[in-house]
Amino acid sequence: MLENSERYPLQHILVEDVFSSNKLVILLLSLILISAMATIWVTHQTRGLISENGQLVLQHQALQDEYRNLKLQEATEGDSTRVESIAIGTLKMKRIDSDQEVVILE
């Protein structure tokens, strides 16, 4: 045994006791900690993906609205009566007669 002037190596005794007789407890504790960290990481990733999904849904809705507006604009501006009224009114164009037509053949 040790003399009174020497100190007990308490840290050494505790580490030796933990690793010599409680290996299963250490293993289970390590597995619990790993499982907890994995759960935290998966939850963080899931919340990030849910947030990104929400932003993408909003962006998709905005693009759908823009597409509908463009289709409506295309239908409005491509209407033959509108084109004809612009050609006659603004550009002062008129329909040609059949005797004014020129056919070019190669």
pLDDT tens figures, 22-81: 788 888 999 999 999 999 999 999 999 999 999 999 999 999 999 999 999 988 887 788
pLDDT of residue 1 exceeding 90, the answer is no
The pLDDT of residue 3 is 60
Name the one residue in this structure whose structure tokens are 């990481």.
41
Exposed e or buried b per residue across 26-59, where buried means at least 16 C-beta atoms within 10 angstroms of its C-beta: eeeeeeeeeeeeeeeeeeeeeeeeeeeeeeeeee
